[in-house]
């Protein structure tokens, strides 16, 4: 057995980043093409190809049982049609793995769903800690006017299943209508 050395990483609470983080993942609209419900609005915005969100990796440990990884995500404010900017969304490749989200700034929604289409919504504001239980797909959505940032901690061996979301989407959409946030059925849910 090889012992790891303990370590500390700082999270910038003012902007949700991890200074000196190992990796930064940047997702533009083109990286999420086909995930937004309003394809005409998506096509109209694609030439601008705005940054939708960034992920700052604080620690990526070996992908084995017992290890934890953590990151922060910053989702920018904006919409494609009526639908707010969101993360790609995924299930864990190892479905029995949970995850914890902690809101650092802004406001948003953690949209969760079982593979059968049962939906759950958790509202996120600074200080909110939300559990993603095993077997639930999850996507975060910025419903505010400012950047929405959260900290995530997850088993390093959880992995990602993006394909199921790309194929079927989520059963519900989070949209803005008449200045209010609403959850509506996804007309494309298969």
How far is the C-alpha of 27 from the C-alpha of 188, rounded, in Å?
23
15 located within any domain = no
For the stretch 32-48, pLDDT in tens is: 999 999 999 999 999 99
The three-class DSSP label of residue 41 is helix
Q: Is the pLDDT of residue 14 over 90?
A: yes
**Residue 56 forms part of a structural domain:** yes
Look at residue 95 and tell me if it is in a domain. yes
156 in a structural domain = yes
Supply the CATH number for residue 158's domain: 2.60.120.10
Residue where the block lists tokens 């505010």 = 144
pLDDT of residue 64: 84
- Residue 129's domain spans which residues? 23-185
Given a cut of 90, whether residue 54 has pLDDT beyond it is: yes
pLDDT (0 to 100) of residue 23: 74
Q: Indicate whether 64 belongs to any domain.
A: yes
Q: Is 61 exposed, middle or buried (0-12, 13-18, 19+ CB in 10 A)?
A: middle
| pLDDT score, position 24 | 84
104, part of any domain: yes
190: confidence class by pLDDT, cuts 50, 70, 90: low
Question: Is residue 60's pLDDT more than 80?
Answer: no
* Burial of 31: CB neighbours in 10 Å, binned 0-12, 13-18, 19+: middle
- Is residue 122 in a domain? yes
Residue of 94, 73, 91, 110 lying closest to 155 (CA atoms):
94
**Please, which residues bridge with residue 95 across strands?**
none
Work out how many domains the chain is built from and give that number.
Answer: 1
Contact present, 57 and 23 (Cβ < 8 Å)? yes
pLDDT in the model for residue 28: 98
Q: pTM for the whole thing? A: 0.95
Which are the contacts of 82, defined by CB distance < 8 A and separation ≥ 6?
Answer: 38, 175, 176, 177
Asked, for residue 5, whether it belongs to a domain, the answer is: no
What are the CA-CA distances from residue 143 to residues 70, 129, 164, 168, 170 (Å)? 23, 17, 24, 23, 17
Q: Which residue has the higher pLDDT, 189 or 170?
A: 170
């Amino acid at each position: 057995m090889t012992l790891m050395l303990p370590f500390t990483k700082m999270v910038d609470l003012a902007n949700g980043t991890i200074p000196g983080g190992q990796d930064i993942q940047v997702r533009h609209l083109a990286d999420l093409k086909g995930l937004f419900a309003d394809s005409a609005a998506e096509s109209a915005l694609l030439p601008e190809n705005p940054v939708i969100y960034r992920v700052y990796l604080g620690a990526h440990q070996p992908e084995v049982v017992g290890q934890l990884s953590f990151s922060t995500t910053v989702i920018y404010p904006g919409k494609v049609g009526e639908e707010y900017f969101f993360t790609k969304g995924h299930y864990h490749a190892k479905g029995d793995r949970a995850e914890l989200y902690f809101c650092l700034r802004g406001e948003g929604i953690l949209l969760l769903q079982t593979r059968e289409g049962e939906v759950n919504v958790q509202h996120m504001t600074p200080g909110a800690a939300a559990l993603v239980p095993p077997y639930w797909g999850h996507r975060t959505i910025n419903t505010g006017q400012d950047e929405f940032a959260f900290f995530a901690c997850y088993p390093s061996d959880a992995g990602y299943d993006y394909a199921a979301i790309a194929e079927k989407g989520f059963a519900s959409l989070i949209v803005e209508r008449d200045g209010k946030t609403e959850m509506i059925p996804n007309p494309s849910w298969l």
